[in-house]
C-alpha cells in the first residue's frame, strides 16, 4: 500500500503546487498500477469527492464561488448522470473495461490540449446561460466513464465564454466538480466498483501532499509547472491510446 500512499502524496503535491493534474493523473496511474479500469474510475470519484470538500470550504470563505453558474452546470449534468447510470448497468463489464481505457486516453489528450491553449484562443460565441446546461451535460457524461475532464473542460469554457474572474472560474469549477463527482460516485458504489480502503489510503497521502505543495507554490513559477504537468498528461494519454490501438 506504500505505493498508493506515495501516489496520493504526489498527486496532492502537484494539485497544491499548480491547481491542476489531480483527476487526469490519478485514474490512469491506478490503471497502470493494476487496478481494474472500472474500479479505478469509481475509486477516483470517491477520492475526488472527499478532497474537493476542502477546496469548496476554502473558496467559499474567499467568496470565489458563483453558485448560480455552478448550479446551472450541475442541472445540465443530472440527465447525463442518469444516462450514465443506465449505461453502466446494461453494458457488459468486460466491454466497459476494454473501452474505458480508450475513452480515458482520448479525454486526457483533449483536456491537456485545452489546458495548454487555455487563455490563448477565444471561441467566437456570445455567452448565453443555455450553454451552461449543454456544457454540464457533455462534461457530466464524460466524467461518468472516465472521472477526468470536469476541471479542465469547464474552466476552459468559462475562461473563454463567461465574463467572470479567474478566481471565480476556479471556485465554480471546484464546487461543480464536488457535486458532479459525489453523484457520479454513487453509480459506481451501487455497482460495487469502488475500493473504499484504497480511496482512504490515497487521501492519507494526498493531505500532506497538498499542504506541502501549497506552501511551496509561492516560490515557484506555477504557469510553467502547469505546462509541464499538462505535457505529461498529454504524453500519458497518447501512450494509453497507442497501447490500446496496438
| Rounded average pLDDT per 10-residue block, the chain, 246 residues | 91 73 80 90 90 80 85 94 90 81 82 71 61 89 80 75 74 87 92 94 90 71 70 79 71
Distance CA 78, CA 52 (A): 19
**Grid coordinates in use for 4?**
498508493
Q: Report CA torsion sign: 118, 121, 127, 130.
A: negative
Rg (CA), the chain: 17
| Domain layout of the chain by residue ranges | 2-245
Residue 25 is inside which H or E element, if any? helix 22-32
Looking at residue 44, what is its pLDDT? 92
Residue 123's pLDDT is what? 55
Predicted local distance difference test score (pLDDT) of residue 129: 73
The full DSSP string for 178-211 is HHHHHHHHHHHHHHT---HHHHHHHHHHHHHHHH
For the purposes of burial, counting CB atoms within 10 Å of the CB of 36, is it exposed (0-12), middle (13-18) or buried (19 or more)?
A: middle
Q: Is the pTM of this model over 0.75?
A: yes
Q: Beta strands of the chain (E only): which ranges?
A: none
Amino acid at each position: 500500500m506504500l505505493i498508493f500512499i506515495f501516489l496520493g502524496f504526489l498527486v496532492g503535491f502537484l494539485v497544491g503546487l499548480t491547481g491542476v493534474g489531480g483527476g487526469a493523473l490519478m485514474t490512469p496511474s491506478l490503471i497502470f498500477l493494476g487496478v481494474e479500469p472500472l474500479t479505478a474510475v469509481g475509486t477516483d470519484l470517491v477520492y475526488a469527492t472527499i478532497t474537493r470538500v476542502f477546496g469548496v470550504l476554502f473558496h467559499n470563505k474567499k467568496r470565489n464561488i458563483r453558485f448560480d453558474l455552478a448550479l446551472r452546470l450541475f442541472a445540465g449534468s443530472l440527465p447525463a448522470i442518469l444516462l450514465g447510470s443506465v449505461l453502466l448497468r446494461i453494458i457488459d463489464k468486460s466491454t466497459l473495461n476494454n473501452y474505458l481505457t480508450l475513452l480515458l486516453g482520448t479525454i486526457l489528450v483533449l483536456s491537456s490540449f485545452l489546458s495548454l491553449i487555455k487563455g490563448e484562443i477565444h471561441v467566437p460565441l456570445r455567452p448565453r446561460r443555455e450553454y451552461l446546461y449543454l456544457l454540464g451535460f457533455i462534461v457530466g457524461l464524460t466524467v461518468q466513464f472516465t472521472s477526468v475532464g470536469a476541471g479542465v473542460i469547464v474552466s476552459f469554457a468559462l475562461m473563454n465564454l463567461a465574463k467572470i474572474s479567474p478566481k471565480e472560474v476556479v471556485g465554480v469549477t471546484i464546487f461543480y466538480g464536488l457535486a458532479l463527482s459525489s453523484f457520479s460516485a454513487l453509480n459506481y458504489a451501487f455497482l460495487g466498483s469502488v475500493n473504499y480502503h484504497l480511496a482512504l489510503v490515497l487521501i492519507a497521502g494526498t493531505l500532506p501532499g497538498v499542504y506541502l505543495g501549497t506552501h511551496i507554490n509561492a516560490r515557484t513559477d506555477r504557469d510553467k509547472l502547469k505546462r509541464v504537468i499538462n505535457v505529461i498528461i498529454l504524453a500519458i494519454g497518447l501512450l494509453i491510446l497507442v497501447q490500446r490501438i496496438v
